[in-house]
Structure 1
Amino acid sequence: MREPLFLIGNVNVDLVMGPQEPWPQPGTEVIVPESEFRVGGAAGNTALALDALGVDYRLVTSRGNDMLGRWLAEPFGARAEAWTVAEVATTVSVGIGHPDGDRTFFTTTGHLHSFGLRDVLPQLDQEGGGCVALLVGPFVIPALLADYDELIAILERRGYRIALDTGWPDGGWTDEVRARVAAWAGHCQHVLINDIEAKGLADTDTVEAAAALIRPLLPEGASLVIKCGPRGALAWRGDEEVAIPAPKVEVVDTIGAGDTFSAGYFASLAESDDLAKAVERGVTVASLAVSTRPRRYR
């Protein structure tokens, strides 16, 4: 994969604060020790890591027509010139950290709720030429989600190799959601999900059982990658099975860990088709990212 990677999905503003415990009473004010204002969203997190890793990519997304939207575009320079500018406020996600490392998020609708297929298509090449199109965050982009089947069909017709990172569906893994994702997976050369998502998709109690049910959904020769957080990652491609443990690190911030894994994974595939090396690179990049502040990827 030496051609540019097309990254299609959600970029929004993150305001991360905390840690805070217990949850405050209404009407009170709480002073927290830390806050950080940064680019967020699955596509935003992946793109920042790809930049740091020196991977050529195109970011297909949108922003709001306001001060925050202009701020969101700044780190991406020329890559943001083709973004759709929605005549609404930019989506903001406020994450409140807890002492155990978990976070509670409050997210506005904003520009992501108006980002649809009509915005994506002008940012794509008419001929994919074998480039990977990595689809991320479909369940937080409702307008695009409504046309996801058509988007995948168009990408396939144009010659893109499709990769998918579903994220967690709003409303959970209903039978309808499972059926939709299963249909998408049948067109994907790479499916990258975390262990909780895998068990939700397959409706199983273990990652191994989930993998056994998901793998037959994929085309022949496609890769299934399951990200297992502090336990590393597992992957399958044909008869090949890979298990890469994560190094022990002091976790500072887990937001976007799976997204940075994807960046490391595809950075490796840009150099070699070695699945084990790609998974190892993903684990290494994600482990470094969650254990550093300011965040580092290499």
Structure 2
Amino acid sequence: MEKIYVLGNLNVDIIMGYFEKWPSIGSEVTGNFFDFRYAGAAGNSALALKRLGFDVYVISSVGSDEFGERFFLNFRKEGINLSKCEKSKKRTGMSVGISFENKERTFFTFLGALEDMNETFINKEVKEIENSWIVICGFNLIPFFQDKRFLETVKMMKEHKNKILFDPGWPPEGWNDGKRQQAVQLAALSDWFVPNLSEAQAISQKSSLKESIEYFKKQGIQNCVIKLGKNGSQGFTLDRHTLSAVFQVGEIKDTVGAGDLFNAALIKGITLGWDDKMAIKFATFYASLCITKMGKERYLSFEEAYASFLKEV
């Protein structure tokens, strides 16, 4: 079983929906859906990667509280290794996700223990990793990821012959020039850069998908796939071939973590030796299929997803 490391944010996710529109200040609205999850981007990625057949290690920080204990208990049951996670004196991070009827969502996040993922901790945990995949997520939630010194950490990862997938996410306070520049530099160091369309346009400061792709090519980014929600994905690879894929396989029920599911399946396809076109198709299909499920049911095994995939291609 191939080892893979997820470096990013573990946090409690409280998901509630579905709402037609954002309520006015001081009012109250009721939803018809609620879920409580031990996830975050790193957790979603780890759970999907495990179901896809990897030996998964998570590098993150949780609190020395009931939520942190539950993370260790739940992930141990799933067979996910948290030996590289620290227990902070701060509370475990928490994110409240509000889902709307159009299946889009908004998040309110408390960082807590994630603020303790500093240079000393991260460098200690990654310095011995060699010849493995490392997923970097939670860029905008972990302060050290936005520090120029983190670029040196990523260079060290590359020197140790690791392959890196970088998912930028969206900053709570919006993008500024410093964050854009850092994200582009991290993307150029990575083997795969996988933003969604909003993130790609904000980082590139371009108004269209085509312009964003051309911008990223000029920045020396090797492989980039932009996730387009219901419109699939589109991007380019090292040989500069443009690739795209779209699948609609059923009623969308739960889009939280859809990008993390895509990332996990993309790595699965690549590690199986598939060409980039097939790997991107499978990743797009896997995410599209998973979001027709709810909660833990979304993390489909490779065997189940691949059998359905073969019927579509």
The alignment's TM-score, normalised by the length of structure 1, stands at 0.90
Q: Which residue of 2 aligns with 1:92?
A: 94
Structure 2 CA distance for partners of 1:27 and 1:50, relative to 1, 3 Å: same
Q: Which residue of 1 aligns with 2:53?
A: 54
Structure 2 CA distance for partners of 1:275 and 1:84, relative to 1, 3 Å: same
8 A contact 1:115–1:144 mirrored in 2: no
Task: Indicate whether 1:4 and 2:3 are aligned.
Answer: yes
Q: Which residue of 1 aligns with 2:112?
A: 110
Q: Which runs of 5+ in 2 are unaligned?
A: 306-313
Of the three residues 103, 117, 120, the one matched with 2:122 is 120
Tell me how far 1:30 sits from its aligned partner: 4.8
8 A contact 1:101–1:254 mirrored in 2: yes
Q: Which residue of 2 aligns with 1:16?
A: 15
Question: 2:244 aligns to what SS in structure 1?
Answer: strand
Does 11-20 or 71-80 show the bigger shift? 71-80
Task: Indicate whether 1:289 and 2:303 are aligned.
Answer: no
Distance 2:226 2:28 in 1: 40
Q: Which runs of 5+ in 1 are unaligned?
A: none
Q: Which residue of 1 aligns with 2:225?
A: 225
Tell me how far 1:18 sits from its aligned partner: 2.3
Question: 2:286 aligns to what SS in structure 1?
Answer: helix
8 A contact 1:11–1:39 mirrored in 2: yes
Distance 1:48 1:277 in 2: 22
List per-residue Cα deviations over 1:189-217 (Å, max 9, x = no partner). 11111111111111111111111110232
Structure 2 CA distance for partners of 1:99 and 1:273, relative to 1, 3 Å: closer
Tell me how far 1:48 sits from its aligned partner: 1.0
Tell me how far 1:255 sits from its aligned partner: 0.8
Root-mean-square deviation (CA, aligned residues, Å) is 2.1
Question: 2:152 aligns to what SS in structure 1?
Answer: helix
Specify the code of the residue in structure 2 equivalent to 1:259. Answer: D
Does 172-181 or 183-192 show the bigger shift? 172-181
Does 180-189 or 9-18 show the bigger shift? 180-189
Structure 2 CA distance for partners of 1:82 and 1:208, relative to 1, 3 Å: same
The size of the alignment, in residue pairs, is 294
Question: 1:199 aligns to what SS in structure 2?
Answer: helix
Question: 1:182 aligns to what SS in structure 2?
Answer: helix
List per-residue Cα deviations over 1:143-169 (Å, max 9, x = no partner). 443242232122123332222111113
Tell me how far 1:92 sits from its aligned partner: 1.0
Structure 2 CA distance for partners of 1:181 and 1:105, relative to 1, 3 Å: closer
Q: Which residue of 1 aligns with 2:245?
A: 244
Specify the code of the residue in structure 2 equivalent to 1:135. Answer: I
Q: Which residue of 1 aligns with 2:310?
A: none
Identity %: 28
